[in-house]
Amino acid sequence: MKRENQSQVTEFVLIGFSIFPDLQVGLFVVFLLMYIVTLAGNLAIMIIIRIDRRLHTPMYLFLGVLSFSETCYSLVIIPKTLVNLVVDIRTISFTGCATQMFFFLGLGGTNCFLLTLMGYDRYLAICHPLHYASLMSRQIFIKLVAGTWLSGFLLSLVETILIFQSPFCSSNTINHFFCHMRPVIKLACTVDNTIETVISLVSIVGLSGSFLLIVLTYIFILSTILWLPSACGERDKAFSTCAAHLTVVIMHFGFASIIYLKPNSPGVSDDDTLISVPYTILTPFLSPMIFTLRNKETKIALKKAIGREITLVHMV
């Protein structure tokens, strides 16, 4: 009976921003421009780190991995959203919805874990500088990065299976612009809310745990920085290397907590569509700019890369 009921729904309809018909064209232009800047920014970071050997350190390699993850994260959501803003039929297949949710949750979880590792890396570099090379060797770096991707997608796989094993036998209209967990769960024709409770607990533990670990590392970092002599400039350098990461952490976890730690309501409101925009579109858009503009070495490397390109153009 469960499979029979579930088979009745073969596709979903994404309501998305159709509830704001007068804003469709404007949203398409804004989102498209932000998407182009997001791709360009993350691509620039990855290229700069790749070609500048001075940036081949764990701190910048973590940033390169994060840029790659955020690029994939944007690809999962924004292109489909842009298409739905200019077409009348906003459908997504049952399998397509499950796939989108799997990659969205997997990449989102991976980003959280990467930001946590970046905080841990700064903790080792500032609090244990003499042992940093051995504590964050190339082999350890590779294992940590592989662990973040594996953990993020393993949790995503569990959550996606739990959601889509439920029977969907009535409405197939998702009041959102992508296959978000909460509106999809609400379409399941079951009175058992165990799955929703389990997924909420996983989200709370994942977000809160990662954020608390970052806070803990920065408590140790701050206590160490305050002991550094201000005259030698090491204190300013330490603050500078942490500023961009801490800014992105606050933005990323702040927007994520609004979505995933929000109390459940009897119905899905229009606000759920709007409050997801900062986390899914604005955060990937701002993140590369923050890391580039607030980091001295990446700015220098970017200026040099641009200078080389201009020189080549003039030579041609």
DSSP calls for 95-115:
HHHHHHHHHHHHHHHHHHHHH
What's the Cα-to-Cα distance from 203 to each of 134, 163, 199, 210, 241, rounded to whole Å? 33, 14, 6, 11, 29
What one-character-per-residue DSSP string does 52-77 give?
-GGG-SHHHHHHHHHHHHHHHHHHHH
C-beta of residue 195 within 8 angstroms of C-beta of residue 162: yes
Amino acid at residue number 39: L
* CATH 3.40.50.300 describes domain 2-315: no
Closest by CA position to 30, among listed 277, 301, 293, 299: 277
Domain boundaries, the chain: 2-315
Amino acid at residue number 127: C
C-beta of residue 198 within 8 angstroms of C-beta of residue 165: no
How many whole angstroms separate alpha carbon 31 and alpha carbon 86?
12
User: In terms of DSSP bridges, do strands 173-174 and 11-14 run parallel, antiparallel, or are they unpaired?
Assistant: parallel
User: In terms of DSSP bridges, do strands 173-174 and 91-93 run parallel, antiparallel, or are they unpaired?
Assistant: unpaired
What's the Cα-to-Cα distance from 95 to each of 10, 103, 122, 181, 269, rounded to whole Å? 8, 12, 40, 15, 25
**Phi/psi at 56 (nearest 5 deg)?**
-85, 55
**Phi/psi at 180 (nearest 5 deg)?**
-80, 150
C-beta of residue 99 within 8 angstroms of C-beta of residue 77: no
Per-residue pLDDT of the chain (316 residues; tens, 9 = 90+): 344 444 467 889 998 888 888 888 999 999 999 999 999 999 989 988 888 888 888 989 999 999 999 999 999 999 999 999 988 888 999 999 999 999 999 999 999 999 999 999 999 998 998 999 999 999 999 999 999 999 999 999 999 998 988 888 778 888 889 998 888 888 887 766 777 788 888 888 888 899 999 999 999 998 888 887 665 556 666 777 788 888 899 999 988 888 777 666 554 444 567 788 888 999 999 998 888 766 666 666 666 655 554 454 445 4
